[in-house]
């Protein structure tokens, strides 16, 4: 998310970001980047409504929306409880509805808009012990296609970017022997970088990407070809 926000700002876009729980990280990011941060829970519809109203008052209507919020709560299916299931679905899938509902009317009125959803290779390929996460990310692909059909006549494009394994703190926390196997299974021979994802998003939100909608762009080094 930070990489995408910085890349869009560097490209000349006026950017604001949303976060929920990492207060210190958000403050440091805002201070270092100069990008305003707003705090609310995207799994809560009313919080999204109030949050976007605040953004609109301070910065104007949202023309580009990047849905990047995500969480995991992995478990074997037989051990997964209801709370794990619903929390992951709310953050990773329900948030698309919550956020798009707030900005879609302005995009319709302006006859222009860009929505980019950040999915996952695992939503395409499946993954052990991630029934909740895979269901949410797979649902994102379907939502993207449906909203793209509705938005096309209004000048709104809706696409998904599906990253593979990206060099983040979370991935680097994987045991070294496991990480080596992951990298060895990626045809290009490396983990993804934040810039790989950010450049893809920047491409999709451009004016001249108006003929690309309802698509999923896989950015995974050939790890899964879909």
Catalytic residues: 133
Q: Classify residue 168 as left (phi > 0), alpha (psi -120 to 50) or beta.
A: beta
CA distance 111 to 104: 10
Query: Which alpha helices (H) appear in 111-130, and where do they start and end?
Result: 121-125
Q: What does DSSP say about strands 64-67 and 113-118: parallel, antiparallel, or unpaired?
A: parallel
Residue 213 near residue 152 (C-beta atoms within 8 A): yes
Q: What SS3 class is residue 25?
A: helix
Residue 106 near residue 59 (C-beta atoms within 8 A): no
Q: What SS3 class is residue 109?
A: helix
CA distance 159 to 136: 16
């Amino acid at each position: 998310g930070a990489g995408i926000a910085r890349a869009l700002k560097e490209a000349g876009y006026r950017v604001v970001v949303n976060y929920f729980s990492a207060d210190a990280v958000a403050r440091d990011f805002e201070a270092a980047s100069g990008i305003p941060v707003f705090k609310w829970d995207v799994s809560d519809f009313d919080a999204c409504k109030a949050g976007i109203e605040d953004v609109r008052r301070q910065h104007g209507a949202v023309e580009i929306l990047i849905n990047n919020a995500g969480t995991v709560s992995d478990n074997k299916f037989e051990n997964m409880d209801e709370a794990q299931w619903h929390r992951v679905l709310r953050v990773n899938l329900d948030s698309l509805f919550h956020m798009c509902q707030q900005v879609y009317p302005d995009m319709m009125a302006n006859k222009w808009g860009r929505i980019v959803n950040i999915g996952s290779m695992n939503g395409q390929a499946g993954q052990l012990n991630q029934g909740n996460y895979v269901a949410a990310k797979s649902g994102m692909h379907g939502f993207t296609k449906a909203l793209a059909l509705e938005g096309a006549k209004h000048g709104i494009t809706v696409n998904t970017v599906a990253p593979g394994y990206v060099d983040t703190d979370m991935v680097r926390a994987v045991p070294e022997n496991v990480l080596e196997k992951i990298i060895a299974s990626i045809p290009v021979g490396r983990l993804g970088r934040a810039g790989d994802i950010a450049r893809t998003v920047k491409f999709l939100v451009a004016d001249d990407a108006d003929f690309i909608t309802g698509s999923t762009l896989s950015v995974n080094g050939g790890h899964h070809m879909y």
